[in-house]
């Protein structure tokens, strides 16, 4: 399949890798004419890293050959069945690019946006082709973190959602269908619920930031990295998830009564967290630590691939 | 150090492995006289599995030789500096065993309970040695999931907490100090906050259980398995955690207004989740799937050990 990647920043580059890895022909375009010239060598570097980590089966050069840049949007979109847009997170930017794309491509081409914060209804309502517009929200970088949240506007056609799901699935990504528009989609709503309690526990002096992080990275987060929260509790009571709800529901109900705050995170706790984090990692080391994070993510992806093969999904 | 493990069920067996792996002499006791006879061969099996997975440096037999069962509580507790109690989760059971142990051991011996649901103040108040009683709450099995939540009663001595921390740290576990008693400690409060939103999203039809699990196991849970939620957001904005709070705080504040329910999980959503989970895993396969889970946990532990060495902590 021919796929266009619109926007060649970090997310766009990772999308190009994802689609090329899935065997597709990738046509890239960016509003800044020199952006594409810069993007291709960066993609080549990342392909080499992924190859070395065992996360690409074919030679890196084979994948790179599937990725090409174009100078005009019209050229990039010629003959494509699917477009993944990853321009800046501004509703006016999305409105403009979707209006332009909607005029260029045929009616069966899906127009998907990577936006994490703007619902599809905010920038597609007036378009003649609004039924083929949808959100396909990745986690950065999508070549290492496979989930893709698919969420349409009220007028998005079910076929558009299904085609987006099929395209993502065909590349090895893990698509999730969201049935109705909602702020933050699923991932950030779950993250927000946990963060709110985390901020509260630190603010009220129960635990420090490092203690809380240890609780998750050496405990709670381990099972979630290969099962998810529902399978985790399904296996955590002899009779499955309904049995779990019976045994532990009252405890969680009781706790929930202290988890109802809707105040903004206070300046006090933000300052406290910033100060504690900077003890572990000075501001000038943030960039270096992000490289570490991506190397750990790459190692984890390779581990999961092997574990699914050896032990099972 | 001599350490007693009181209660030789699944948790007690895993504790024996943890302490033996840390080089300690482990003295086991259980209320049921034949429980210890059953436990030792099960421990031997697990040690072989851990050795094979690269999670034990010494020969399995060396560790096994450090673990011995005793017929009376007095014998098991002779000369120990630390006791880890893992009997059933009933307050009367805890009251009785702590009263007995408090009479047997000297004043410097720490008496720690594995309880996940009963605060130390509920079963230690009247004891002469209540200052050396504390909770050291593991995740099952502690030989694969290293976090240990340490939480005292209001009368627990700071030295008791520190000694418990040191003992756990010395074995390679990851202790977390909780500064004040609270229901659910840290781990289950975080889990509860996320589960509440998860139940709500399924009940209101936004996503199904499998879609939600995919969102976590292929996305949100990956970083949390090696960083925790605070380091994750510290690296997710150019300027660190305070910058993140500035950028995304308003979105999380807005979402939080829909996350205030304190109702019990409804029978409707529990039924729906049970029905969906049983499509993926029939009730007669739960046991087998738990073995799969523990093998995946073991693989993940081995991966993390290697990644921390190769890439860094």
CA closest to A228 among chain B residues: B213
Statement to judge: residues A73 and A217 lie in one domain? no
Query: Is A289 inside any structural domain?
Result: no
Statement to judge: residues B209 and B236 lie in one domain? yes
Whether residue B197 and residue A189 make contact (CB cut-off 8 A), yes or no, is yes
Domain count, chain B: 2
Whether residue A235 and residue B206 make contact (CB cut-off 8 A), yes or no, is no
Secondary structure string (H, E, C) spanning A197-265: HHHHHHHCCCCCHHHHHHHHHHHHHHHHCCCCHHHHHHCCCCCCHHHHHHHHHHHHHHHHCCCCCCCCC
The shortest CB-CB distance from B293 to any of A227, A255, A274 is to A227
Whether residue B206 and residue A180 make contact (CB cut-off 8 A), yes or no, is yes
Interface size between A and B, measured as CB pairs under 8 A: 362
Report which secondary-structure segment, H or E, holds B28: strand B25-29
Statement to judge: residues A87 and A211 lie in one domain? no
The CA distance from B105 to the nearest CA of chain A, in Å, is 30
Query: Is B309 inside any structural domain?
Result: no
Low-confidence ranges of chain A (pLDDT < 50): none
pLDDT of residue A45: 96
Statement to judge: residues A160 and A112 lie in one domain? yes
Instruction: Report chain A's mean pLDDT, rounded to a whole number.
Output: 97
Domain termination site, one of A178, A198, A225: A178
Question: How many angstroms separate the CA atoms of B142 and A219, rounded?
Answer: 9
Indicate the burial class of A88 (C-beta count within 10 angstroms; 0-12, 13-18, 19 or more): exposed
The shortest CB-CB distance from A174 to any of B195, B214, B307 is to B214
Query: Is B288 inside any structural domain?
Result: no
Q: What is the mean pLDDT of residues B274-296?
A: 97
Statement to judge: residues A118 and A30 lie in one domain? yes
| Sign of the CA dihedral running A246, A248, A249, A254 | positive
The CA distance from A219 to the nearest CA of chain B, in Å, is 5
The shortest CB-CB distance from B217 to any of A182, A196, A226 is to A226
Query: Is B313 inside any structural domain?
Result: no
Statement to judge: residues B235 and B258 lie in one domain? yes
Statement to judge: residues B191 and B164 lie in one domain? no
CB atoms within 10 A of CB B159: 12
Statement to judge: residues A112 and A217 lie in one domain? no
Domain termination site, one of A148, A178, A208: A178
pTM score, two decimals?
A: 0.96
Name A207's Cβ contacts closer than 8 Å, sequence gap at least 6: A201, A215, B176, B177, B178, B179, B186
Whether residue A251 and residue B183 make contact (CB cut-off 8 A), yes or no, is yes
CB atoms within 10 A of CB B104: 18
CB A224 within 8 A of CB A232: yes
The shortest CB-CB distance from A283 to any of B174, B215, B240 is to B240
pLDDT of residue B218: 98
Statement to judge: residues B138 and B30 lie in one domain? yes
Tokens 């003959």 correspond to A79
Query: Phi/psi of residue B174, each to 5°?
Result: -115, 90
Statement to judge: residues A145 and A202 lie in one domain? no
Q: What is the mean pLDDT of residues B108-116?
A: 97
DSSP, res A126: T
The shortest CB-CB distance from A226 to any of B211, B286, B296 is to B296
pLDDT of residue A312: 96
Residues in chain B closer than 8 A to A297 (CB atoms):
222-223
Task: Return the SS3 of B252.
Answer: helix
B interface mutation test: which of A211, A297, A309 has the most B CBs within 10 A?
A: A211
Residues in chain B closer than 8 A to A271 (CB atoms):
242
Query: Is B303 inside any structural domain?
Result: no
Closest CA to A216 of A191, A233, A186: A191
Domain termination site, one of A178, A210, A233: A178
pLDDT at B220 over 90: yes
Whether residue B225 and residue A245 make contact (CB cut-off 8 A), yes or no, is no
Statement to judge: residues B172 and B209 lie in one domain? no
CB A262 within 8 A of CB B258: no
- Paired strand residues for B151: B135, B178
CA closest to A179 among chain B residues: B206
pLDDT of residue B71: 95
Query: Is B306 inside any structural domain?
Result: no
**What are the CA-CA distances from residue B313 to residues A100, B217, B224, B233, B238 (Å)?**
46, 21, 13, 17, 21
Whether residue B297 and residue A222 make contact (CB cut-off 8 A), yes or no, is yes
Whether residue A277 and residue B231 make contact (CB cut-off 8 A), yes or no, is yes
Alpha helix locations (H) across A105-208? Answer: 121-124, 158-170, 187-203
The shortest CB-CB distance from A222 to any of B117, B145, B277 is to B145
Residues in chain B closer than 8 A to A150 (CB atoms):
none
Taking the mean position of all CA atoms in its chain, how far away is CA A246? 34
Residues in chain A closer than 8 A to B216 (CB atoms):
187, 190, 224, 228-229
The CA distance from B160 to the nearest CA of chain A, in Å, is 17
| pLDDT, tens digit, 9 for 90 and up, residues B171-205 | 999 999 999 999 999 999 999 999 999 999 999 99
Residue A255, domain CATH: 1.10.1040.10
Residues in chain A closer than 8 A to B14 (CB atoms):
none
Statement to judge: residues B66 and B214 lie in one domain? no
Question: How many angstroms separate the CA atoms of B158 and B179, rounded?
Answer: 10
Q: What is the mean pLDDT of residues B282-289?
A: 96
pLDDT at B119 over 90: yes
pLDDT of residue A220: 98
Query: Is B200 inside any structural domain?
Result: yes
Please, what's the largest Cα pairwise distance for chain A? Answer: 61
A interface mutation test: which of B182, B256, B272, B312 has the most A CBs within 10 A?
A: B256
Query: Is B143 inside any structural domain?
Result: yes
CB atoms within 10 A of CB A163: 19
Whether residue B228 and residue A212 make contact (CB cut-off 8 A), yes or no, is yes
Burial A10-43 (b: 16+ CB within 10 A, else e): ebbbbbbbbbbbbebbbbbbbeeeebbeebbeeb
Of chain B, the percentage scoring pLDDT greater than 90 comes to: 99
Residue A265 lies in domain: 188-280
| pLDDT, tens digit, 9 for 90 and up, residues B121-148 | 999 999 999 999 999 999 989 999 999 9
| pLDDT, tens digit, 9 for 90 and up, residues B23-73 | 999 999 999 989 999 999 999 999 999 999 999 999 999 999 999 999 999
CB A216 within 8 A of CB B229: yes
The shortest CB-CB distance from A191 to any of B179, B220, B310 is to B220
pLDDT at B2 over 90: yes
pLDDT of residue A33: 83
């Amino acid at each position: 399949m021919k796929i266009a990647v619109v926007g060649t920043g970090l997310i766009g580059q990772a999308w190009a890798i994802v689609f090329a890895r899935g065997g597709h022909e990738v046509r890239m375009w960016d509003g800044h004419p020199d952006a594409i010239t810069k993007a291709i060598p960066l993609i080549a570097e990342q392909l080499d890293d992924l190859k070395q980590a065992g996360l690409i089966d074919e030679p890196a050069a084979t994948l790179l050959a599937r990725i090409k840049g174009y100078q005009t949007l019209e050229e990039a979109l010629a003959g494509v069945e699917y477009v993944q847009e990853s321009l800046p997170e501004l509703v006016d930017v999305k409105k403009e690019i979707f209006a332009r794309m909607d005029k260029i491509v045929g009616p069966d081409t899906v127009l998907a946006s990577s936006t994490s914060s703007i619902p599809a209804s905010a920038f597609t309502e007036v378009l003649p082709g609004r039924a083929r517009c949808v959100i396909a929200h990745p986690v950065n970088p999508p070549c290492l973190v496979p989930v893709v949240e698919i969420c349409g506007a009220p007028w998005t056609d079910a076929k558009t959602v299904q085609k987006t799901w099929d395209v993502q699935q065909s590349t090895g990504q893990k698509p999730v269908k969201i049935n109705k528009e909602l702020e933050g989609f699923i991932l950030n709503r779950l993250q927000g619920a946990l963060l709110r309690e985390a901020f509260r526990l630190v603010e009220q002096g129960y635990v420090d930031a490092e203690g809380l992080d240890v609780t998750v990275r050496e405990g709670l987060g381990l099972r979630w990295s290969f099962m998810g929260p529902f399978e985790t509790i399904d296996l955590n009571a002899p009779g499955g998830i309904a049995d779990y709800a019976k045994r532990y529901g009252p405890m969680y109900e009781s706790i929930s009564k202290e988890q109802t705050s809707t105040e903004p995170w206070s300046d006090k706790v933000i300052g406290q967290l910033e100060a504690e984090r900077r003890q572990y990692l000075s501001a000038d080391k943030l960039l270096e630590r992000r490289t570490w994070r991506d190397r750990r993510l790459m190692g984890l992806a390779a581990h999961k691939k092997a574990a699914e093969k050896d032990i099972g999904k």
